[in-house]
Amino acid sequence: MDKLIIRGGRKLKGEVTISGAKNAALPIMAASLLASGYSTIQGVPRLRDIMTMGRLLAHIGAGFHYEEGKVVISTERLKMQEAPYDLVRTMRASILVLGPLLAKYGYARVSLPGGCAIGARPINLHLMGLERMGADVKLEGGYVVAKARRMRGASIYFDLPTVTGTENLMMAASLARGRTVIENAAREPEVKDCARALVAMGAKIEGAGGSIIEIEGVDDLRPLDYTIIPDRIEEGTFMTAAGITGGDITLKSCRLDHLDAVVMKLTEAGLVFENREGGVRVMGPGRPKSTNVTTLQYPGFPTDMQAQFMALMSVADGTSVIKETIFENRFMHVAELMRMGADIAVEGGIATVKGVGKLKGAPLMATDLRASASLVVAALAAKGETEVRRIYHLDRGYETMEEKLKKIGADIRRVKEG
Ligand code: EPZ
């Protein structure tokens, strides 16, 4: 397992190109199962999760090829409609093949994802929606077994906006008979990108990006050729890196409009933003100012930015209160930040962060994707050397993060271990 060795104290300076959004690529790769033929998806980052989804598609008999940001998926010769436990347990987003396989083939057997480090993360809302659309859904031996000759349009209300739940049901409804309305749908940019890709395949979808989405089912869909949006969470992560090092970086091929809440909070923390052609310049302050954050569904402050923001607040001037409302256990980074000298008290879903003057480098253990990003951000400003182990977590969601950081002046290197 690889680790990163980081010597903190360098101000980041230079240009970073943001990669495509992992959480847009994953549902859109699954959507290719709704058509027969060759689909091409461009701007896809080379990430572990993308390759895991590729392995899953290959397992069911689809062709999968990745080269230089382009994914080609062929679906003429699918040999099964099953997603096995050993693949699904490594990536929960595998559940995204459930809706497309059921809609296209009338059958799907997908392993229940199981919990993960940040929470139980049930899929009851996904299954409720499929049942409302007439599917017969059973749980057998840790698997979801779903059957439906052809699903019918339905009115679906989500108790809470689920991102992959909204995507799964949009995909299922695209081939159903009649109209489906999803109320209290997730509004994330990745959901909207998934809808735009489905429309490019011939689906009839209105309202994606809002909380009410209407889908008029069609009889079949054509393969897609589509370019995904940039990764707003990678973008926000580099912003916090500029903030914590007092740096001055320019982010290229990014979408500032997908990060309003994050930019507002980082501005409160003292960062300065300047629009640039196709990107944004981000300048960090001498020392960040403390401010409070509550994570919410989009357009609120994203839970996927909570850990990185906490790293920034751990050296802020003042005390910040960070409330995590989406997942029940998304403070795994706290103990590791405290090993660096951070002063953080956690009570339920609330972390109180007393900013310290300087963090100190230490050997750290990554526990989940965004927690590992948080540790890297903290290490960039820490005194001395930090070692971040188990960075396969980081590789799930960041394309060669250490190369991008090195290019803008960070003292960081990857060491292969074992
Ligand atoms: C998506 O996960 C993202 N993953 C996550 O990103 C992100 O953190 C999350 O949305 C929230 O924004 C992908 O898009 C692949 P949810 P998802 O369903 O869809 C509860 C990352 O770092 N819920 O919106 O699994 C659930 O427990 C990853 O890239 C139910 O109760 O999240 C959670 O509390 C981590 N029943 C809340 O809803 C359901 O059926 C939001 O979950 C579904 C969800």
Strands 319-323, 350-354: pairing kind = antiparallel
158 Cβ below 6 A of ligand 1: no
164 Cβ below 6 A of ligand 1: yes
Q: Cα of 393 to ligand 1 centre, how many Å?
A: 17
pLDDT of res. 115:
67
Q: What ranges in 150-259 are assigned the alpha helix state H?
A: 163-174, 189-200, 232-245
Report in angstroms the alpha-carbon separations of 107 from 14, 81, 147, 252, 380. Answer: 51, 7, 5, 43, 49
Q: Cα of 164 to ligand 1 centre, how many Å?
A: 7
Given a cut of 70, whether residue 55 has pLDDT beyond it is yes
Token pair of 222, please? 């054509």
Which residues make Cβ contacts (< 8 Å) with residue 160, sequence separation at least 6?
125, 184, 297
Rg (CA), the chain: 21
Q: What ranges in 45-137 are assigned the alpha helix state H?
A: 48-59, 85-88, 98-105, 124-132
- Among residues 286, 290, 343, the alpha carbon closest in space to that of 317 is found at 290
Residue 418 pLDDT class (50, 70, 90 cuts) = low
Same domain, 86 and 13: no
**CATH number for position 170:** 3.65.10.10
Given a cut of 80, whether residue 256 has pLDDT beyond it is yes
Q: What is the pTM for the complete model shown?
A: 0.97
Indicate the average pLDDT of the chain.
96
Classify residue 285 by its DSSP letter. -
Q: Give the separation between CA 392 and CA 396, rounded to whole angstroms.
A: 6
Q: Whose CA is nearest to atom 8 of ligand 1?
A: 304
User: 356-396, pLDDT tens digit by residue?
Assistant: 999 999 999 999 999 999 999 999 999 999 999 999 999 99
Same domain, 41 and 183: yes
Looking at the 3D structure of the chain, how many domains does it have?
Answer: 2
User: pLDDT above 70 covers what percent of the chain?
Assistant: 100
370 Cβ below 6 A of ligand 1: yes
Q: Whose CA is nearest to atom 31 of ligand 1?
A: 122
393 Cβ below 6 A of ligand 1: no
74 Cβ below 6 A of ligand 1: no
From 227, 258, 290, give the residue that closes a domain.
227
User: 93-139, pLDDT tens digit by residue?
Assistant: 999 999 999 999 999 999 998 767 777 778 999 999 999 999 999 99
Pocket mutation for ligand 1, best pick of 162, 331, 396, 399 (most atoms within 8 Å of C-beta): 162
Same domain, 14 and 46: no
Pocket mutation for ligand 1, best pick of 123, 294, 326 (most atoms within 8 Å of C-beta): 326
Same domain, 252 and 308: yes
115 Cβ below 6 A of ligand 1: no
Residue 79 pLDDT class (50, 70, 90 cuts) = confident
Q: Which atom number of ligand 1 is nearest to the Cα of residue 396?
A: 29
Same domain, 199 and 235: no
pLDDT of res. 278:
85
- Among residues 281, 174, 290, 157, the alpha carbon closest in space to that of 221 is found at 174
Residue 148 pLDDT class (50, 70, 90 cuts) = very high
The dihedral region occupied by 103, where left means phi > 0, alpha psi between -120 and 50, and beta the remainder, is: alpha
Q: Give the separation between CA 233 and CA 259, rounded to whole angstroms.
A: 8
Same domain, 11 and 64: no
Q: Give the separation between CA 252 and CA 229, rounded to whole angstroms.
A: 13
Given a cut of 80, whether residue 34 has pLDDT beyond it is yes
Average confidence (pLDDT) over 216-229: 97
Domain that includes residue 374, residue range: 2-19+230-416
From 195, 227, 259, give the residue that closes a domain.
227
From 227, 251, 275, give the residue that closes a domain.
227
